Amino acid sequence: MQLFLDTADIKQIREAVKLGVISGVTTNPSLVSKAGWAGDYKSAVQEICSLVKGPVSVEVLSQDAESMIDEARAIATWSPYVNIKIPVCAAGLEAISVLSTEKIKVNMTLCFSLNQALLGALAGATYVSSFVGRLDDVGQDGMELVAQIVQCLDHYKLPAQVIAASIRHPMHCVTAAKAGAHIATIPYSVLTQMINHPLTTAGIARFLEDSKQATGKG
């Protein structure tokens, strides 16, 4: 399973990239607003692309298919790493089906059902993003849906990759990997939590203490 970083915060992306475990980045309008990108949206995206050198999702804001396609074509010129995030809806599917014939990669977002994922994959989306945390929030099993989508796309040999999105904690990453998700897109805080374990921290402290005694420096 690959990991994408789910943020528009360039400082976080810079830190995460250093670890060598991040293959891409996903943004959305809420994350962009939170990161406080002032003015030049295009430059910020290009900076992220130059840091990550992997797929970077940028969401369209248009509502109708024709405008989505125009917006996607314009964003796709910003960097070869950019892919276009388009929400599941009739206009979105229409846009995806056109963009896929132009080799513009689409991350179909806001997916909350197997039917939506299937439609996105059939329309030609490169990624389908299944929102785990938001489904959990309304009392449905978000990760069970990820597992169903993985199984369905695999069964019908549809090439779309499944992104487990709306990840809230490290256990979501564990279950996403077990469900066979191709990618989990995770907030920086979850990446940090994945690294740390109290027994590792205690183990390092113990080894340091013991090494001082072994070398007579204690």
Binding positions for ligand E4P, rule: CB under 6 A: 6, 26, 28, 109, 129, 131, 133-134, 165-166, 185
d(CA 126, CA 107): 6
What is the nearest approach in angstroms of ligand E4P to the Cβ of residue 114?
18
Helix (H) and strand (E) counts for the chain? Answer: 11, 8
- Which residue's CB atom is positioned nearest to ligand E4P? 166
Q: Which is nearer to ligand E4P, 116 or 185 (CB)?
A: 185
Q: Which is nearer to ligand E4P, 131 or 217 (CB)?
A: 131
Give the chain's radius of gyration (CA, Å): 20
Active-site residues: which are they? 85
The contacts of residue 180 (CB under 8 Å, 6+ apart) are 147, 150, 151, 154, 162
What is the nearest approach in angstroms of ligand E4P to the Cβ of residue 201?
27
Q: Which is nearer to ligand E4P, 61 or 199 (CB)?
A: 61
| Token pair listed for 170 | 């490290």
What is the nearest approach in angstroms of ligand E4P to the Cβ of residue 171?
15
Handedness of CA 74, 67, 163, 126 (dihedral sign): negative
Q: Of the candidates 100, 91, 106, which has an alpha carbon nearest to the alpha carbon of residue 58? A: 106
Handedness of CA 48, 6, 158, 68 (dihedral sign): negative
Q: Which is nearer to ligand E4P, 79 or 129 (CB)?
A: 129
What is the nearest approach in angstroms of ligand E4P to the Cβ of residue 6?
5
What is the nearest approach in angstroms of ligand E4P to the Cβ of residue 109?
6
Strands (E), 112-196: 127-131, 161-165, 183-186
102 CB neighbour count, 10 Å cutoff: 10
Q: Which is nearer to ligand E4P, 173 or 210 (CB)?
A: 173
